[in-house]
Every structure is written in structure tokens, then in C-alpha cells.
Amino acid sequence: MLIVIGPQGSGNHLFGKIFSLHEDVHGWKAALQPDGYFIPHWHEPFNEYWNDPSKITVDIMGGKQYAVTSVSNPYMENFTARVPKLEEFVEALAAVGIESELAIIGRDRNILDLQQRRLRGGPTWGMMQIMLNRLEEPPLFLSQELLYLYRAHYVRSLGKLLNFPTAWTDPRIEEILCEDANAKYIQPCDPTPLDSHVKNFIKPPWLKTQ
């Protein structure tokens, strides 16, 4: 089971969809439907196991060899913020013979701060730092920015890094990534003293002389 976790607003729905695309993966298939743009995390198929990891059995894999669960830290359960019981979740998986891999989502810190202040009343991304301090093994990190920039190529590379099936040729990837969630936070900046210096030394190829 691939466990994808990150700060609120870092791309948990986004990566949950991306990894659920492959037919051999048991995941958040409902989020892939046309009306699945945003589904509350308490509707994620593994939510009950995050609330109570003792319920985990081999059936959690949905009859597949691979599965993916995506959860934010903190996540919302009936409008109440909860910290995922990560250690208990991993131990419960191991107890029934299921291997797990942890992947941590990252997003630009300034954008996370703005997003969480706008929607959460204040930043919550620091809770991931606390969780990371408890981990004995370093996890793999996922980048929302790299996903939007390199798209299917990045998905393909994640499959190789994680040894996990990804549907990197699926055209639905472009549908999922059609609107860059970072764009609304990006504004043109004022000129800086170095701008003219850089322009004098770095010219486009078509302006360079032979």
C-alpha cells in the first residue's frame, strides 16, 4: 500500500487521483468521476481505517496487489481536525502482511501559508514537520510543482522510484491537471536591480551572434 500524506492543501486529492488511475491499484476511484473534483476526505475509501487502524484486514487491498490511500495532516472528520494515526496504520498493515511505502507531498511554502490562512484560519503545515521528526526511515517526497510542470513524465518517474504501477500514459492525467492550483497565487513581481545585469549577459539564442 502506498501511503500519500501531506499538509492540508498540498495536493492530497491530486495525488490520490493520479495514483488511483491504474487499473491494478485499489484507490480513490470515486474521485476520478466527472463529479469528483472535490470529495471530502471522510469519503476517502480508507477513512474508517485512519480513524481506527485496528479495523485493518487484508480486505483493505480490495482484492488488488496494490492500493493507495491519501490523507492530509491534519485531515477533517465530520468538520473536526484530526492527526492521522500514521504509526498505528503502518503497524496494522504489517500485522496482516501488507507492505507499505510512505510518500510525503510538498508544495511551495508561501503558497501553502496563503492557502491555509485563506481556508483554515491559519497555517497548519507545521504539523507535517512534527510528524517527520518521528519517522525512523526517510520517506520519498512528492512535488506538486513538478507534477504540474512535467506531468506524465513525472508520474512515470514516480512509478519507477516507488516500484508502483502508474497509468502515466492515461489521457485523464491532463484532465486532472487542466487547472494549475498554484496559478491564482502567482503575481508578477517588481523589477529588481539584477534584472538588467542578467539581461545583458543572457540573451535568447536567436539574438546571439555567431
* Spacing of C-alpha 72 from chain mean position: 9
Q: How many whole angstroms separate alpha carbon 74 and alpha carbon 178?
A: 27
Check residue 205 and give its pLDDT.
61
Check residue 77 and give its pLDDT.
81
Q: Is the peptide bond before 188 cis (omega within 30 degrees of 0)?
A: no
Check residue 105 and give its pLDDT.
98
Check residue 203 and give its pLDDT.
63
Q: How many CB atoms lie within 10 A of CB 114?
A: 15
144: CB partners within 8 A, 6+ apart: 10, 11, 14, 105, 106, 107, 108, 181, 182
Check residue 66 and give its pLDDT.
98
CATH topology for 2-182 is Rossmann fold (3.40.50)
pLDDT along the chain (210 residues), means of 10: 96 95 96 77 89 97 97 87 95 98 96 92 92 95 97 98 98 95 91 80 60
Specify whether the CB–CB gap between 69 and 27 falls below 8 A: yes
Residue (of 20, 103, 89, 18) closest to 50 by Cα position: 89
Domain boundaries along the sequence of the chain: 2-182
Q: Which three cell numbers stand for residue 113?
A: 501559508
Check residue 22 and give its pLDDT.
98
Specify whether the CB–CB gap between 131 and 74 falls below 8 A: no
